[in-house]
Amino acid sequence: MRIPDEKLAEVFDQGFTVVEGFLDKTTLKDAQDALWEIYPRPEAYFADPQTYAKFTRSQFAGLRFFPYPSWALNKVPVYPDLIDAAERFLQTKEVDCYKIELWAKYAGAIDYDQTHHRDYDNHTIVVPRADQVMPQMTCFILLSDVTELDGPTKAVPLDKSRHIPIGISQTKVGDFAADEVAVTGPAGSMLIYKTDVFHRGSNFQAPGRSRFVMPVDFKARGWRWQGKLAWPNQAINPGWKQAMVNMTPRQRDVFGWPPAGDAYWNDQTLSDVALRYPGIDLTPYGAKAPAIAEA
Ligand SMILES: O=C(O)CCC(=O)C(=O)O
């Protein structure tokens, strides 16, 4: 769904918002089914947690960076309504998607409680501006239902934390306990927040629960002090080529792919990019359309 302006305004006013029903049902269902190519289904996990002991190593053991084996997952971070929201939030068409992850958590694997923190520590090499100019748009797309029992993210409204200088990114256990809001919602909902917002991961409140989310982050192109992943480093991983072949020029652009009309494109690059990405349609970038065979 197109994210209403009021929801984007809430991110600036409160620091975060939750949009229910963001993903359409088919996109959500396909993405959920594709999760099991990467993670154990909850039934399998809880039948034999020892087999999946790797999830006990750290809170972050269930994190996997983009790309994924399946297009059903790779298309979620370039969902047109997400790119549209990023353009409107960042007030430019020149947007970079700078980080995509999947994150699986299983109750009992480890204690997922965190202290409140601001995410900017590993999203910029400086700090966010307090006047909200040059923001970053960070999101969690919920791929499973998240209730109070399912280790929801807990976020602190900006008016409760403005007194803390932006340069301080961590708090002590218990700070903001009375102010935090649990980010709950049905699968397909999306949390949008800013990197100056105090929030924390929380632990499951019942056994046998699990949580699957896709964090996706955007920034305006050109603010080179912001970012997290370098896409060329991910481009050798399974799923990348198919994702680039399947995407539209607009979707590729958010990864930094050269746009149509860019000086990068010439006969040589058109020919060699086609060799690297079999099946890609480079006609938008100037490649000749294949001749139609005569009957
Ligand atoms: O998993 C969550 O709900 C939040 C995690 C988080 O804020 C973090 O690890 O930085």
Q: How far apart, in whole angstroms, are the C-alpha atoms of residue 80 and residue 92?
A: 15
Q: Whose CA is nearest to atom 2 of ligand 1?
A: 201
Q: For the chain, what are the domain ranges?
A: 5-230
Q: Is the dihedral of CA 216, 221, 222, 223 positive or negative?
A: negative
Q: How far apart, in whole angstroms, are the C-alpha atoms of residue 107 and residue 244?
A: 35
Question: Which atom of ligand 1 is the closest one to the Cα of 213?
Answer: 1
Q: How far is the CA of 154 from the centre of ligand 1 (A)?
A: 9
Alpha carbon separation from 76 to 141, 157, 202, 221 (Å, rounded):
9, 27, 25, 21
Taking a C-beta distance cutoff of 8 angstroms, is the pair 70, 127 a contact? Answer: no
Residue to mutate, 199, 213, 216, ligand 1, most ligand atoms under 8 Å from C-beta: 199
Q: How far apart, in whole angstroms, are the C-alpha atoms of residue 157 and residue 263?
A: 45
Q: Which CATH number fits domain 5-230: 3.30.365.10, 3.40.605.10, 2.60.120.620, 3.40.50.300?
A: 2.60.120.620
Q: Whose CA is nearest to atom 5 of ligand 1?
A: 201
Q: Whose CA is nearest to atom 4 of ligand 1?
A: 201
Ligand 1 contacts (CB < 6 A) are 114, 119, 153, 199-201
Question: Which atom of ligand 1 is the closest one to the Cα of 112?
Answer: 1
Q: Whose CA is nearest to atom 9 of ligand 1?
A: 201
Say which residue the tokens 């939030």 belong to. Answer: 89
Q: How far apart, in whole angstroms, are the C-alpha atoms of residue 193 and residue 119?
A: 10
| Digit-coded pLDDT (tens) for 40-55 | 999 999 999 999 999 9
Q: How far is the CA of 195 from the centre of ligand 1 (A)?
A: 12
Taking a C-beta distance cutoff of 8 angstroms, is the pair 197, 69 a contact? Answer: no
**pLDDT one digit per residue (tens) for the chain, 295 residues:** 999 999 999 999 999 999 999 999 999 999 999 999 999 999 999 999 999 999 999 999 999 999 999 999 999 999 999 999 999 999 999 999 999 999 999 999 999 999 999 999 999 999 999 999 999 999 999 999 999 999 999 999 999 999 999 999 999 988 999 999 999 999 999 999 999 999 999 999 999 999 999 999 999 999 999 999 999 999 999 999 999 999 999 999 999 999 999 999 999 999 999 999 999 999 999 999 877 766 5
Q: Whose CA is nearest to atom 1 of ligand 1?
A: 201
Alpha carbon separation from 161 to 15, 23, 172 (Å, rounded):
10, 31, 13
Q: Could you give the 3-state DSSP secondary structure of residue 295? A: coil
Return the number of other C-beta atoms located less than 10 Å from residue 290's C-beta: 8
